[in-house]
Amino acid sequence: MAANVKHIAAQIPKLTLFSKTNRRLFVGRFLHGAKFTRWKCRHRNATMSAPQACEESTWSGIAGPETFAKEEKLKSLSEKGLRFVGDKAKTIGQPTPESHPHLMEENEITPGITKKEYRDRRHKLLSVLSKTHFGETHDKHLVVIPSNPTKHMTIDVPYPFRQNTDFLYLTGFQEPDAVLKPWRVSHCLHIRVPCSFNLQTPKGSCGKSYSIKNLAPVLIDRYAGKDFSVWYDSLRPTHPMIHEEISKVLFRSEKFSYKNLLTLGHNVHMLRLIKSEVEIKLLRQSASLTAQAITKVMKSTRPGLEESHLHTILEYECRMGGAERLAYPPVVASGPMANTLHYINNTQVLRNGELVLMDAGSEYHGYASDITRTWPVSGNFSEPQRELYEVVLRVHKKSLQLCQKTVSLDYLHHAMLLLLGEELIGLNMIPKNLTESQLKKATAEFCPHHVGHYLGMDTHDTHMVSRGLGLHPGMVITIEPGIYISADNTKVPERYRGIGIRIEDDVLITEKEPEVLTAECPKEIEDIERLMNNTEIARL
């Protein structure tokens, strides 16, 4: 194997991405780290045999033919992936259009999002701050936004890094140990050395970068004694070490003074709440690939598997679809486990006659999806399961119809409780003749969570924004009614006990009808049963 890899490396012309990386190490990483599994060595002078030349891989036996339906696209991506040549191909710690042409277009900082959009976001933030009460009375504003640090689960074993979302939204910078300091129309980024990333943008915007070691001196030299209003979330710091450096300047330096110390977070969240066209496109893609992944999990479900097996299939399909990671630890809850909200142990065996509830999402180029589906392990709903599922589905559909601009998530939640309450009365699970307040309280015992939340770069996005705010076009929310009945709940008919069901979709608010981003994931009973019974089971 080592000899083959070395020979493959010799056939890649002018490989200059990592000047100090030996060919065997790089090719090994390249082969195993690509987002596709079929590729051909295109070097004109290649003289290797077919196996050595990396002709068609044999992953189809694992992933199925659907994974490779777009063969021409894969070939094109493969060719792009080999173009690590010339002076432009530099590594800066995150993908660039030069180093990752299969992911990014020219002038993009992150896949799908350009330098201009990031610059406009920073300018818009400063514009928003200038229109606040303090902004109208002060003309000097300094914003300080740290990145996240690297966190470790144990000695020398880091957790996968995920950037501070507000920092990422404004910069696109995906490395730890950095600070953004926009003020007026100028933007500075302090990063750890080596200092290889620059926020340089087209004319009209000044972008500079400094070593993180110079944070305190630059703060004092450039901003001390000028009576700035400082916007910094000192009560919820994201980076302890950087917070300590900033605190030395703000609170313990005689040289530095400021007019006011103001909280920033809510202002950034209000900007993030309304999505741009490119953000909506990324959210659509995130929702689509997760919907397809969950559909494949349904096909693969059978008695005797463990919940963790479904988790594994889900993650594999999401990653193969282009996701960088799952958006959160998925819930794969079979039988009575579905009545435990946020159950993530995923260790139980799938049993014939039970339902399995999966709540999962992926993160695609920084944007999350969030889907929940419930289906029978055997492929067919029992009569009690069908009755409860149809109740949840009817409430779900009616709630979707109510997703119009100007109504709020809180309004939708109250409407969902009333709709679900009427359905439960019909099943003799709630007494009749209750007042509206009593009905909502009784229903909340069967659905103890909110009907939805904002969705975007985070799964529970912009958490500082009230759910009482009226919806506007460009917002993305979830709608997720459910019914959860404990196995020992003697107040309900015995045939319903131990059943938990939730249906969740991602919804884009528009000027007219809401757009369900996750519509391709089956939720009708007939579609689920047809899918599970008329397709070949994927064996592990």
Catalytic residue flag (residue 120): no
Most distant CA atoms of the chain, gap in Å: 83
Choose, from 484, 496, 506, 529, the residue flagged as catalytic.
484
Query: Pick from 152, 150, 148, 126: which is nearest to 139 by CA?
Result: 126
DSSP readout, 461-497? Answer: --TTS-TTSBP-TT-EEEE--EEE--TT-TTS-GGGT
Angle, CA of 87, 88 and 93, to the nearest 5°: 115
Exposure of 220 by Cβ count < 10 A (0-12 exposed, 13-18 middle, 19+ buried)? Answer: middle
Known catalytic residue: 370?
Answer: yes
> Which H or E run contains 290?
helix 277-300
Which of 351, 460, 495, 530 is labelled catalytic?
460
Question: Among 279, 307, 354, 370, which one carries the catalytic annotation?
Answer: 370
Residue indicated by tokens 């009755």: 387
| Annotated catalytic residue 504 | yes
Structure tokens at 383: 């009569």
CB 268 within 8 A of CB 498: no
Select which of 98, 307, 423, 504 is catalytic. Answer: 504
The residues, any chain, with a CB within 8 Å of residue 534's CB and separated by 6 or more, are none
Examine the residue annotation and report whether 449 is marked as an active-site residue of this protein.
yes
Helix and strand numbers, DSSP H then E, in the chain: 16, 22
Is 461 an annotated catalytic residue? Answer: no
- Cβ–Cβ < 8 Å for 364, 324: yes
Q: 177: how many CB neighbours lie within 10 A of its CB?
A: 17
**From 233, 365, 502, 529, active-site residue:** 502
Catalytic residue among 359, 423, 505, 506: 359
Tokens of 243: 């917070």
**Catalytic one among 117, 480, 506, 529?**
480
- Report which residue type is found at 491: K
413 catalytically annotated: no
Is 227 one of the annotated active-site residues of the chain?
Answer: no
156, 254, 526, 536: which one is catalytic?
156
Both tokens assigned to 403: 């997703």
- Could you confirm whether 118 is annotated as catalytic? no
- 506 is an active site residue: no
Cα 535 to Cα 482: distance, rounded to the nearest angstrom: 28
How many residues in the chain?
540
The one-letter amino acid at 236: R
Q: Which residues belong to the active site?
A: 156, 342, 359, 370, 449, 453, 460, 480, 484, 502, 504
